[in-house]
Amino acid sequence: MVSASVEPAEPATFQTGFPIRPDRLVEAATAEDVREAVAYAAGRGLRVAAHASGHGLPGPVEGGVLIATRALDSVTVDPVRRTARIGAGTSWGRVIEAAAPHGLAPLNGSSPSVGAVSYTLGGGLGVLAREFGYAADQVRSLDVVTADGIARRVTPEREPELFWGLRGGGHRLGVVTGLETGLVAVERLYGGSIVFDGRWAAEVVRGYLEWTRTVPDTLTSSLAALVYPELPQLPEELRGRYVISVRVAFTGDVAEGERLVAPLRAIGAAASIGSRGAADSPVLGDSLREMPYTESHTIHSDPPFPHAYYGDSAVLGAADAERTVRAFELAGPRAPMMTVVQFNHLGGALAAGPDVPNAVPYRDARFLLRLLSPLDGTDVASVRALYGEVGRVLEPLTVGRSLNFSFGGGDRTAGFHEAETAKRLAGLVSQYDPAGLFGGPYGAG
């Protein structure tokens, strides 16, 4: 039997806003440890959760068995097949570093410390998403322990329905101990951000929406807006200031990248000669440049330190400039708590999907709006009230929610998948986990 803590214990986690108090914490050193822990829990009727980096913690963990997979942090690159085999505890930063010497890159997200496997199970909307699709679209095989304590190698040929559901269905079908994923031939990219003074947020949102109509699938971008806190470690010009940034990643050459972003820079030029006066430029910074792919995390510069936060999302089937502007306003400087808004441009390869279909939902969506609020100095109820206001504004455009961007809101699972996909996933749960060891049916709540 795998060694489990005699008393409840709490692992280190990036998300610090919710308690983690399992009855048993299993620090898995091997896939066999995971299998034994699942069998142990199943034999005693205990719920099971898995924990890698803790970025996307869906909420509190109370009781049951928590399997910490951070020691399963292996990565092996096959440069000929352009694949990487990744252990359940491996971060994207390690995969990027391992792939780079071969001129290859994974479909990682914006933060190098996020767990690669858990990110991929939820779909995985990454830095190069519009060109190459979701991370789940690149998966070749998965190693998973199901509720019956059986370790399975799942491929399109072997258990194809489970292969479909694990790629985009999340964590409710078992504990994935590793997977093999395809890599893409990207060594360098043109990317970075243009940072605007938030007083011009409405102009930037409208200009950005218009600009997204013109860009090729090889360009992935997003908007982000927040009021920076008054922290000494921040640049003085940003402390306490409301800013809105356009972030760009493009795999073409620099000259073409410069041509494509020219309309974004024109937003700043036009705004600076508007009613606020020519001397009052809205552009606070411009970091667009050619970079090695190993620096792709600098495009977003996500916080590297653990903290407490709550987040949710709205997947949008259409664009509406005035509703989007209003959503940014509600979560801006007048909001009752600090809130980060991110607005991702979808489409391209995200809409096309992989040759072997998977459970990633809402392929036809055009944008994703994400909200994230630090919980220091506020509470979940207040944050949810604000998100409700934003949600009502966007309701006519909203088709669902994103599984990977429900930080702390995992108790509300409605909207993570379309009705037919949720029904199909529920059928898989009934087959592989009838007792609800890993969290119960899809679509509840």
Please state the separation of Cα 334 from the chain's center in Å.
27
pLDDT of residue 203: 96
Mean pLDDT of the chain: 91
pLDDT at 443 over 50: no
389-434: pLDDT as tens digits: 999 999 999 999 999 998 876 667 889 999 999 999 999 999 999 9
Token output for 19: 């308690």
Whole-model pTM? 0.93
For 433, list phi and psi in degrees, rounded to 5.
Answer: -145, 60
Confidence band for 72, pLDDT divided at 50, 70 and 90:
very high
Higher model confidence: residue 445 or residue 214? 214
pLDDT of residue 241: 92
The span from the CA of 289 to the CA of 264, in Å, is: 15
Average pLDDT for 181-199: 97
Q: pLDDT at residue 235 above 80?
A: no
CA atoms within 13 A on the CB side of 407: 23
The token duo for 255 is: 């000259």
Q: Which amino acid is at 279?
A: A
Encoded tokens for 401? 């929610």
Q: Is the pLDDT of residue 16 over 80?
A: no
Predicted pLDDT of residue 307: 77
Angle made by CA atoms 380, 383, 389, in degrees to the nearest 5 = 140
- 1 pLDDT tier (thresholds 50, 70, 90): very low
Token pair recorded at residue 203: 């102009």
Strands 65-68 and 48-51: parallel
| pLDDT at 444 exceeding the cut of 50 | no
Of 196, 215, 202, 199, give the one whose Cα is nearest residue 130: 215
Q: Which of 29-38, 110-119, 227-236, 273-282 is modeled with the greatest confidence?
A: 29-38
pLDDT at residue 324 tops 90: yes
First to last CA, the chain: 35
Which residue type does 154 have? Answer: V
Q: Where is mean pLDDT largest: 240-254, 298-312, 397-411?
A: 240-254
| φ, ψ at 182 (rounded to 5°) | -75, 150
8 A C-beta contact, residue 365 and residue 123: no
Q: What is the spatial order of strands in the sheet that 175-182 belongs to?
A: 75-78, 83-87, 175-182, 139-145, 151-154
* pLDDT given at position 4: 44
User: What is the model's pLDDT at position 8?
Assistant: 46
8 Å CB contact between 34 and 174: no
Say if residues 18 and 407 touch (Cβ distance below 8 Å).
no
Check residue 276 and give its pLDDT.
53
Q: Give percent above pLDDT 90 in the chain.
A: 76
pLDDT score at 273: 58
Q: Give Cβ neighbours of residue 431 (< 8 Å, ≥ 6 apart).
A: none
pLDDT for the residue numbered 73: 95
**Mean pLDDT on 181-188:** 98
Segment 330-347 mean pLDDT:
96
pLDDT at residue 270 is higher than 90: no
